[in-house]
A and B are shown apart, each in its own frame.
Chain A
Amino acid sequence: MEKGHSIIHMGKILIVAAYAVYAAFWLRFIGHALVWWKVSQRLDNRSLARPHLKLKACALTVLDVVLLGRVFIVNTALWIVEWVFHASFLLVVLRHLRFFLDPVPDWVWWLQTPGLIAGYVLPFALLYILVIRLLTKLEKYAAPANLFLLGLVLAISSIGVVMNTLFTPDLVDVKLFIFGIVHFAPAAAPGSVLFLLHFCLVLVLLLFLPTHIFTAPLVMLEARKREQALRLVIHEK
C-alpha cells in the first residue's frame, strides 16, 4: 500500500517534471533561435558574396548528415562507431514512438525489430566511444559536457536493455502514462523503479540536448558550399 502511494506521488512529480522539461526545452530553443534571428537581421557585408547553392553541395551535405561523411574523412576508426551510435539512437527513438502515438502508424511497427536490435547495439557503441575518449591516447581531449552526454545516453540505453530482457515493466501502464503526458491527460506512473529511472534520465537528456542537432546540418551545408567555392576565390577567370 505504502509502495503504491509513493509510486502515485512519484508519478505526479514526474508528470510535472516532464512538462517543466518540455517547457525548458522550448524556452532554450527559442532563446537560441532569437539569437540566430537577431544576428541574421544584420547586414552581413564582411565577406564575399555567399557561394551559390549547388546540387553537389546539397548531395554531399546529405551524405554528411546521414552517413557522417566528415567524421569519416577526419577519423575513419571512430567513424563507424559514431555512425552506429547515431543510427541506433535514431532507431531507438523511432521505436519508442509507439508509446506516444495512437493508433500506431504501420511504419513505426515495421521499425520495432530494427529498433530492438539497435537498442542492444547502442550501449556497446557508446562504451567503445567512451573507452576511446577516456582510456586511450588516440584522443587528446574529452570535453566534460561531451562525456556527460555520452554517459547519460549509456545509462538510459543500458536501463532500456535491462528492462527489455530482465525486468520488463507493464507496457500498457507505460503507454497510458506516456500517452497521458503527451495528451495532457496525466495517468498513473508504472510501478517499475527501472522505468521511472529511465524516464527521469530521458528528461535530463532533453534538458541538455546539444544544439548541434539543429545547427550542424546547416553548418555542414555551408562548409560544402565553401569547399565548392574555394576554386572561385582566386582562380576566377
Chain B
Amino acid sequence: MKNKRSFTTELSARQVLELDACTQCGECLKHCPVQDVTGNPAVSPPEKIRMFREFIRATDGLKARLFGPAEADQKLLQDFAKAVYECTTCGACGQNCPVGIFTQRLWPMLRKEMVKRGLGPIGVQAETPAAIKNSGNPYNKPAGERYKPWFPEQVKVADRSDIAYYAGCTGAYESQPMVKGDVLVLNAIGEPFTMLPPEEEVCCGFPLFITGQHDLLKDLVTRLVKGYKAKGVKKLICSCPCCVNIMTRDWPAIYGEALPFKIRHITQHVSEAIRTGKLQLRNKLSESVIYHDPCYLSRGVGVIEEPREVLRSIPGITVLEFERHGLNSRCCGSGGAARKVFHENAIAMGRQTIDEAVAKKADRLILACPACYAKVNEAMQGHKNQIRITDIMELVSGLI
C-alpha cells in the first residue's frame, strides 16, 4: 500500500508544472558536474524527471483516478533514488534550462519523497538525524569541541549584541581555518558580536533538508531563532553558503513567521566594512588568485559580487575567474550531501576545479564554503596538480 501514496505530496504546484514543462532537450547535461565525471545519462536531470513523471502518472494520472492508484515500479524507484542522491543539487542544470526549471529546489523535494517511501537517504546520510539529535551536529562531535580547537583567544564575544556570528558545523569541525578567519575579521572590524554557547549552536538543518529528512527541522530552527532573539540579535552573519541558503529561503517558513533578524553572508558584511572604512587591508599580496563561487551562495542567494569586492580590495592582488563563474559556476563536488556517499565523484569534481585553477596559472584557489574547503583539499591529496587552497576570510584575516 505504501507505494500507492501520491508522488505529488511533497511538491508545490510550481514544481508539478516544472516536471511537466521539461522538454527532455538535454541542454542541462552540458552543465551537470555529475555528468562530467560519470558520463552516465541515466542519472541526468531529464531522466530523473522522466522517471518521476511515470511515478506521478501511476498514482495521480487519469487512469489512477478512475481505477485507483497503481504501485510504482520498484526497480525504477530504486534507480531514481540512486540518481537523485548522486546529484550534488548544485542547480547548474536549472540555471541552464531552456524552460527555467528551478532544480536546486526541485531535487531536495524529490529526495524528501524518497525518504517518505523508505528509499532515501543513502548510506551515511541516514545517520544524520540521530547524530544531530545526539550531539547537535551531523558529525556527531561533542559540543565542547565546537569552538575550542580554533577559536582565537584574543577575540572577545559579547553576551548580547545586534550582530551575531553562526560558525556552522562543517566550518567548526571540518574547515577550522575558515571559521577562525571569520572571527578574526569580525574582531578586526571592531563591532561587538555575539555567539550562541557551543551546546546551543546546533545544526542549521541544511544536511537534513538536502537529504530529504525534514522531521527535526522545526525543532532545530526554533531553538536557533529563539536563541538569537534572546540575545537581541538584528543581523546574523554566517560564512557557510548552505547554512545561509536555508536560513534565508527556508527558516521563515519552518519557523512559521518572519525572522526577527536579517541574515548576511560574511562577505557582505566584510565588503561593507571595507567600503565604509571600518576594515582596512594594509598588507599587500602580490599573487594571482582564482575565486570559486559556491553553488548555494551564487545560484542560491545571489551573493556574487561581494566576495570579489573583498578580494579586489587587497593591495597587489590579481583576481582571476573560472570559465564558469557567478551564476554559472561549476560545482566542486561537495554539494547535496553526495560527497559522503559518492566519494569518487566528489574527488573527481574537486580535481576538475583544481586543474582549471592550475591551468589558469593561479597562485591560490580561494574558496568560500566549508564543504568545498574540506573536499577540494581532500581531492588534492595525491593529485598531479597542486595549488594553495585558502578560504576567503582566512586570506583576509592574514592581511589585516
Contacts and interface: CB of A to CB of B under 8 A. Distances in A.
A212 B30 CA distance: 21
A223 B263 contact: no
Contact of B264 (A44, A214, A223, A234): A234
B56 interface: yes
A216 B23 contact: yes
A206 B346 CA distance: 43
A235 interface: yes
Interface residues of A, number: 51
Interface stretch (B131-139, B244-252, B370-378): B244-252
B268 interface: yes
A71 interface: yes
Interface string A210-236: 111011101110111010001101111
Contacts of A38: 8, 60
A135 interface: no
B100 A220 contact: yes
Contacts of B144: none
B59 to A, nearest CB: 10
A146 B62 contact: no
Contacts of B24: 143, 145-146
A219 B105 contact: no
Contacts, number: 147
B302 interface: yes
A219 B263 CA distance: 28
Interface of A: 27-28, 30-32, 34-36, 38-40, 42, 44-48, 64, 68, 70-71, 73-75, 133, 139-143, 145-146, 210-212, 214-216, 218-220, 222-224, 226, 230-231, 233-236
Interface of B: 8, 11-14, 16-18, 20-27, 29-30, 35, 41, 44, 46-47, 50, 56, 60-63, 65, 96-102, 105, 109, 244, 248-250, 252-253, 262-265, 268, 300-303
23 contacts: A32-B20, A34-B62, A35-B56, A35-B60, A35-B61, A36-B17, A39-B13, A45-B253, A70-B99, A71-B98, A74-B27, A74-B97, A141-B29, A141-B41, A141-B46, A143-B25, A146-B23, A146-B24, A226-B100, A231-B302, A233-B248, A233-B301, A236-B262
